[in-house]
Amino acid sequence: MGKGDGAPMRRALLRNFCYIFLCFLAVTFALALFTYSSTRAALEGELMNSTADIAAGYAAQMDDFFIGLNRLNATLSINQLINSYIASPQASPGIFEGLHESIRSQLETAIYSQDYVDSIYIVSEADGSFISKSGYQPLSMLLDRNWLSMLPEDMQPGKPVRLYRKVADLYPYVLSYVTRVNSGKNAGYIVVNANIKYFPALTEQSRIQALSSYILTQDGQILYRTMKRDLLEPLKTVPELSAFSLEEDAFTRLVRGDAPYVYSQVYSPEHQLYFVTVAHLTQYTQSLSMQRRTLAAFSCALLVFFAMVAVFLCLRAQKPIKALLALLENPQKLAYQADYSPLEVKQIAEHFVRYIQANTALSQELQQQMQVMSDVRLWALQSQINPHFIFNTLNLIHCECVKTMGYTNPASDLILKFSKLIHYALYSNHLVPLSQELTYTRVFADILARRYGDSVQLDFAIPDDCLEASVPKLLLQPLIENATQHGADFSSGKTLHIVIRAETHAAADGEELVFTVEDDGVGIAPEALEELRQKIASANGQGKNGKNGIGLSNVVARLKLLFPRRASLTIDSRVEEGTRVTLHMPYIVQEE
């Protein structure tokens, strides 16, 4: 080709490169935009739903709190000792000293039983005195009396009045339930002061990171927030509360900006209060920033890769064309390799056609082989009967047995119990309450009873204080199975008695739980006992032949993983006397 003939090829190369690269660029941009939008929408939806649920739960807990506070006030109002004190005429304190002390003791118990109760006053108008947790005193000694001036003139006896105020006009800020009580010819007041700072629901919310809780009055003032400086504060004190609305009872919205947050409010008509939660989206913004950086880096890398692919494809596509054009233009150019004639150019084209045909045949053959491999892989996967399939199959068999033989048939009952054990093994947590473990151990014992009849008898001696302890699931079944295997002699006709005990002991590193499984069977020979002890000592969670099994070794291996250096298992046996397995583990109670 001449020097000027290369310009069209270069323009074609550039044009093809631009087409391919723009296609790759559009795909990359669409993929990145879709991924970012989907992830952002999912994060926002999850955060808004979570914050709304927290606000609703917050309002429900506060409703329960107000009900409990009202119940406490009502209980004090009908207390006979308190009514006797209010009804009694003015008298020397010595005459009613026992009555006053009893009331003081009850008030002290009521205050210390609830963290949020700051103080309780019982005021007698006739006596001009009051009783608090400090005892009986003249009313003039009560510094906190501003609630008297806040009471309505038409206050009805027995109907509590709710006041938000400062104790002694200073601190703390309290919610006071004041009830006027008429007893006999005299009257008095019962004042229950709840410290707003220690409301139980607020205390619980404060443990959640990046979440702030507020209580707002009906006229839009802040009644509660952390680090508050006055009893009632304006909304502008907290910028996040600018989303507050008197026109909506319950709503949740995402407020965007430099520091985005989720605002959720719930109104309680009964208490005329707004309960607000504000979730600061620090983690959300960090996740979005990380996502943007990741997508940007990935997109840049992908574009560079696509640019290289585009160049490679363009050059690769033009190379055979240039070779054919060169050969067609000057067949003698390849004379250094062979003596080509114009006919060979046609043969090259025919070779191209034959190659394409052969390649098509090979492609079809390869596709058929890939389909066969896919079918074989699918067959292999379908042939694996997993435990979940076994559990479902057992349930199906049980249903069929019930249909044909009824609920009272032993086979259907046995299948149901075995299905329960499978479900327990599959879906329970690693640690379960001992009470739950005992439930399924008794199911296991029922299956043993079906197998061995009266030849094996199990007795449980488990005190109630051990039932809440958390233990590994399937802990007791291997111990019972070991006792049956090494202790039963069914040819003699003797009944094997197995006793399972549990008790707690004090240990150097905390309280421990001790299980004992003891039988009166034939016992284990000394040589076999020593071999069994060595297997237990080197337990690694493997059963016989290296397969996973649930035996004593498996129990020890699980205990070593769960409680390193704090769990042990020992076995003692005497021939013709029986075997005792003792298991030590920490006493823990796992919260749900």
More confident residue, 518 or 285: 518
Per-residue pLDDT for 320 more than 60?
Answer: no
What is the per-residue pLDDT for 322?
Answer: 60
Find the mean pLDDT for residues 434-442: 91
Domain finish residue from 198, 232, 265: 198
Per-residue pLDDT for 550 more than 60?
Answer: no
CB-based burial, 165-197: b 16+ in 10 Å, e otherwise: bebeeeebbbbbbbbbbebeebbbbbbbbbbbb
What is the per-residue pLDDT for 543?
Answer: 43
**At what angle are helices 342-382 and 282-329 packed, to 10 degrees?**
150
Structure confidence by residue, pLDDT tens digits, 75-126: 999 999 999 898 887 655 566 788 889 999 999 999 988 888 999 999 998 8
Lowest mean pLDDT segment, chosen from 211-225, 303-317, 326-340, 467-481: 326-340
Lowest mean pLDDT segment, chosen from 11-20, 370-379, 514-523: 370-379
Q: Residue 307 class from Cβ within 10 Å (0-12 exposed, 13-18 middle, 19+ buried)?
A: middle
Q: How confident is the model at residue 547 (pLDDT cuts 50, 70, 90)?
A: very low
Question: Omega into 172 within 30° of 0, i.e. cis?
Answer: yes
**pLDDT, averaged across the chain:** 78
In this structure, are residues 583 and 568 in contact, taking their beta carbons and an 8 Å threshold? Answer: yes
Structure confidence by residue, pLDDT tens digits, 170-212: 888 999 999 999 988 899 999 999 998 877 555 555 555 567 8
For 223, the token pair is 């009644």
Q: What domain count does the chain have?
A: 2
More confident residue, 327 or 141: 141
Structure confidence by residue, pLDDT tens digits, 515-529: 999 999 888 889 988
Which domain does 465 fall in, by range? 428-586
More confident residue, 128 or 20: 128
Lowest mean pLDDT segment, chosen from 264-268, 340-344, 507-511, 512-516: 340-344
Report the Cα 214 to chain-centroid distance in Å. Answer: 25
In this structure, are residues 168 and 146 in contact, taking their beta carbons and an 8 Å threshold? Answer: yes
What is the per-residue pLDDT for 519?
Answer: 92
Comparing CA positions, the residue from 573, 582, 583 lying closest to residue 486 is 573
Find the mean pLDDT for residues 241-249: 84
* Residue 277 CB coordination number (10 Å): 26
Q: Report yes or no on 24 lying in a domain.
A: no
Q: How confident is the model at residue 583 (pLDDT cuts 50, 70, 90)?
A: very high
Q: Which pTM value belongs to this model?
A: 0.44
For 98, the token pair is 């026992």
For 287, the token pair is 């996740």
What is the per-residue pLDDT for 38?
Answer: 74
Find the mean pLDDT for residues 472-498: 85
DSSP 336: T
CA–CA dist 201, 136 (Å, integer): 33
More confident residue, 191 or 492: 191
- What are the φ/ψ torsions at residue 414 (nearest 5 degrees)? -65, -40
CA–CA dist 401, 394 (Å, integer): 10
Q: What is the CATH number of the domain that holds 432?
A: 3.30.565.10
Per-residue pLDDT for 514 more than 90?
Answer: yes
Q: What is the CATH number of the domain that holds 105?
A: 3.30.450
What is the per-residue pLDDT for 291?
Answer: 67
Identity of the residue numbered 132: S
Angle at 67 between CA 61 and CA 72, to 5 degrees: 125
Q: Report yes or no on 25 lying in a domain.
A: no
More confident residue, 179 or 340: 179
Half-sphere exposure (Cβ direction) of 462: Cα atoms closer than 13 Å? 22
Identify the H or E element spanning 479: helix 476-487
- What are the φ/ψ torsions at residue 567 (nearest 5 degrees)? -135, 150
CA–CA dist 201, 204 (Å, integer): 5
Only one residue has tokens 């397995």, namely: 581
CA–CA dist 267, 275 (Å, integer): 6
Q: Report yes or no on 154 lying in a domain.
A: yes
What is the per-residue pLDDT for 272?
Answer: 86
What is the per-residue pLDDT for 138?
Answer: 92
Only one residue has tokens 């290289």, namely: 308
* Residue 132 CB coordination number (10 Å): 21
Q: Report yes or no on 505 lying in a domain.
A: yes
In this structure, are residues 238 and 230 in contact, taking their beta carbons and an 8 Å threshold? Answer: no
CA–CA dist 123, 145 (Å, integer): 11
Q: Report yes or no on 480 lying in a domain.
A: yes
- 28 in helix, strand or coil? helix
Find the mean pLDDT for residues 10-22: 76
Structure confidence by residue, pLDDT tens digits, 17-48: 787 778 877 877 777 677 767 776 776 777 77
Domain finish residue from 198, 221, 241: 198
Q: Residue 325 class from Cβ within 10 Å (0-12 exposed, 13-18 middle, 19+ buried)?
A: middle
Q: Report yes or no on 331 lying in a domain.
A: no
What is the per-residue pLDDT for 318?
Answer: 63
Domain finish residue from 173, 198, 223: 198
Percent of the chain with pLDDT over 90: 22
Non-local (6+) Cβ contacts of 79 within 8 A are 103, 106
Percent of the chain with pLDDT over 70: 76
